[in-house]
Amino acid sequence: MQEYPTRNGIPVSTKEIWLPNSELDLSKRESFNNHHTCYTAREFGSQILTRVMRSIETHQEVLPIDVHEYLHKKYKPVKLPTPRQAMDEIYRAKHAGEHLKIKEDHHYIIKEITDQIMRVCIADYQRLKSK
């Protein structure tokens, strides 16, 4: 398995890596699922900072299931970014007007990166930085 490409500790979009064409019927909704560039959920869910970063909409892409499976067979899970890298990415996303894409009750909802979310992230960053 190869290392998943990153830029400054942040995983790149799947549009920046070579992936094969799908062999599925792409006219069917069930041929697709959601890919988080920040995988795995267990690893990235372990800290508030990385959980919020993982939820940024641009870090999720809808892929054909067979292409998604290929990606996970070819690449190792992404390593956690440093707290500074994660905080910088959350700041970047907020100031770019990006949103969070969160699964609730078997469907995705889009949420703003609010000032309250930023305060929680900053507190988590301060906690992690002091360790």
In tens, the pLDDT along 87-105 reads 999 999 999 999 999 988 8
User: What is the per-residue pLDDT for 16?
Assistant: 94
Tokens (6 digits) for 51? 């959980």
Rg from Cα positions in the chain: 15
Other CB atoms within 10 Å distance of the CB of residue 72: 14
User: What is the per-residue pLDDT for 96?
Assistant: 97
- CB contact burial 45-55 (16+ within 10 A = b; e otherwise): eebbbbbbbbb
| Spatial distance between the Cα atoms of 15 and 75, rounded to a whole number of angstroms | 15
Calculate mean pLDDT across residues 60-74: 95
User: What is the per-residue pLDDT for 88?
Assistant: 96
| Spatial distance between the Cα atoms of 32 and 74, rounded to a whole number of angstroms | 19
Percent of the chain with pLDDT over 90: 73
In tens, the pLDDT along 27-54 reads 998 999 989 988 777 777 778 999 999 9
User: What is the per-residue pLDDT for 75?
Assistant: 95
Q: Are 118 and 87 in contact (CB under 8 A)?
A: no
In tens, the pLDDT along 121-130 reads 999 999 988 8
| Spatial distance between the Cα atoms of 23 and 100, rounded to a whole number of angstroms | 30
Stated pTM of the model: 0.87
User: What is the per-residue pLDDT for 41?
Assistant: 77
